[in-house]
Amino acid sequence: MDYLESIIEKYSRRRNFLIEMLMDVQHEKGYIPRESIFYLSKRLSVPVNEVMRIATFYKTFSLKPKAEHVIKVCSGVSCYIRGGREVVEKLENLLGIKVGDSTPDMKFSLELSSCSGRCASGPEIEIDGEVYGNVKPDDIEGILKKIG
């Protein structure tokens, strides 16, 4: 837990920097391990349920490890009515997982994202920061093959 101690020291053990500490943990590990929550709680004298409340409230935090490639499907109304639901279903079927999960080989994670504001190009997905617009369910297999 040396990385946690250095994060705690970086913020001078001040509990009002808990969000920043959790951000640093996520940056370091790719997610927030449960043991980190308990450790921060103990070291900062903050109740575990308060640390958990913060870690689960903000969408930027994840309590699950992320896979090598994170697929985000826009869940905005425009994308949804233009076929977003079908895109999600196709991804779930091809990957064998549900939204919020990762493939057993940790190659892909599937998430929903908030509206990206690019409604004219919906439905859209984002994979590792690259945006694919006007995606149809039949396009998904080719996109996944391109990624690896």
Query: What CA dihedral angle connects 42, 44, 46 and 50, to 10 degrees?
Result: -100
Domains in the chain: boundaries: 2-57, 69-147
What's the confidence (pLDDT) of residue 116?
A: 80
Q: Decide: 121 and 134 in contact? Cβ < 8 Å.
A: yes
Q: What angle do CA 30, 35, 36 make, to 5 degrees?
A: 55
Q: What angle do CA 90, 74, 92 make, to 5 degrees?
A: 20
What's the confidence (pLDDT) of residue 41?
A: 96
What's the confidence (pLDDT) of residue 79?
A: 93
What's the confidence (pLDDT) of residue 1?
A: 75
What's the confidence (pLDDT) of residue 66?
A: 86
Q: Decide: 115 and 77 in contact? Cβ < 8 Å.
A: yes
The residues, any chain, with a CB within 8 Å of residue 51's CB and separated by 6 or more, are 18, 22, 37, 40, 41
pTM metric for this prediction: 0.75
- Strand, coil or helix: what is 72? strand
Structure-token pair, residue 31 = 């997610």
Structure-token pair, residue 78 = 């425009």
The class level of CATH for 69-147 reads alpha beta
Q: Which of 80, 145, 91, 86 lies closest to 116 in space, CA to CA?
A: 80
- pLDDT by position in tens, the chain (length 148): 789 999 999 999 999 999 999 999 999 998 999 999 999 999 999 999 999 999 999 878 999 888 999 999 999 999 999 999 999 999 999 999 999 999 999 999 999 998 888 889 999 999 988 999 999 999 999 999 998 7
